[in-house]
Structure 1
C-alpha cells in the first residue's frame, strides 16, 4: 500500500456496521480514517485494520452533531492520510419507544446526529472532492426511512431525510464525477437491533419471521454493498437507494 491508495472516512466506525465497512474498504486497498465518538473504540478498530490488511489508518474523534468537531476530525484525517476520496456516513443513534412517550430532547438529539450530522460531515469533505473532480459518498440510511418502523418514528424521519438529501446532492455534484448513494439495512445484528428486541420481543420475532432469506443481516452484508458503491465498478451509479434486508423490503 502507498500514498496513491484512496482514502476513506467512515463515521461511527468504532463498532458494528461501521467497523465492518472500514474493514471491507481496507481489504479493497483504501487507507482508512476510523471516526467515532468513542476514542478507544476508534483506536482499536484502526489498529486491527492495520494489522490485518496492512493499510495506513487514523483514528479520529468527533460528535458529528458538532460542526466544529467534524471540521477538526476531517482536518486531522486528511493530515494523516491525504484527501478524502470516499465518505461513508454511518454514524447514527436511536431511542426505541412509542412516539407519544418521546421527548423533544430526544427528537433534537436524533435529528442532530442522524440527519444534520450526515449533512455536516458531507459538507466538510465536499469542496475537496469537487476540486479534484472525483469522489464517492455513501449514506447508511435504513429501510425505516423507506417504509417506517414502529418504535422508531423520529429515527425513520431522519433516515428518510438522508435518502432525500442523497438524491438531491447526487444531482448537484454529478458533473464533478462524484457519486452519492444510500444503503438501507434491514434488521441487522447490531446493538440497535438489540434495543428493538428489548422494546418488544414480539415485534422483534415477527420481523425476523418475515425475512425471506430466514436470517438476520450481518454487518458484513452491508459492508460488501458499500465496498461496491465505493469502487470504480459503480462509477455510473448515483442517486440510488439500495435495501439490504434479506428481501424483507422489495421496493
Structure 2
C-alpha cells in the first residue's frame, strides 16, 4: 500500500469537509444533486468523448496503482541478474531455461526466452525497446485520462454555477430564496475545483510517476539481459545496473 496516497486522500477529505464546517456552511452545504450531475457526470461524459476505449479501459485497470502500486525492488532485480549471469557463465545460456516458468513478468520472461534462444544481442535490444516504448505510451495515455478529467471538471463547475445563478435570477421577487440559491450555485464550483485538484490531477501525476519508474526498470532489465547474452563478468553487470538505482 502507498501510505502517502492514503494520507493524501484522508487529508484532502478533511480539508474539504473540515473547511466547510469551520466556515459555517456545514456538511449540507457540500451536497447538491444538481451540481453532482453537472460536474461529475458531465466530466465523465467529456472524457468519454475524448478517450479511445482501449485507453479508458487501461485507465480503469491502472487506477488501483494509486494506492497499491506494482512491486518495485530494483536491488532484488540486480541480484537476480547477477545470479543468472553467474549461472550462464558456468553452465551456458541453456541453463537459464528452467527459470522461464518462474517469471511472472511477461516482459522479463520474453527477454529471458530470447537470451536462452541465443538471439543476437542487438536484435534482443530492438525488440524489447519497441515493446517497452509501446507499453509506456499506452500507460501514459491512460494516465492522461485523469489529467483530462482534471481539466474539464473546473470548467463544468463554472457552468454549474452559472446555471445555478440563472435559477436564482428567476426568483429575485422572493428574497427568501436568494441566499440558498446562490450558495447552491457555488457548490458546483467547489465540486469542479475540488475534484480536479484533490483527485483527478494528483491521480494522473501519481500514475505518470509509476509509469516512468516502470520504464526505467525495463531499461535496466534490457541492459542486464544483454549483458548476460554477451557473457559479461557478473561484477561488471552489477556495477552497471546499480547506476539505474542511483
TM-score (norm 1): 0.28
**Larger strand proportion, structure 1 or 2?**
1
Greater CA radius of gyration, 1 or 2?
2
**Larger helix proportion, structure 1 or 2?**
2
Structure scoring higher RCO (CA < 8 A, sep ≥ 6) equals 2
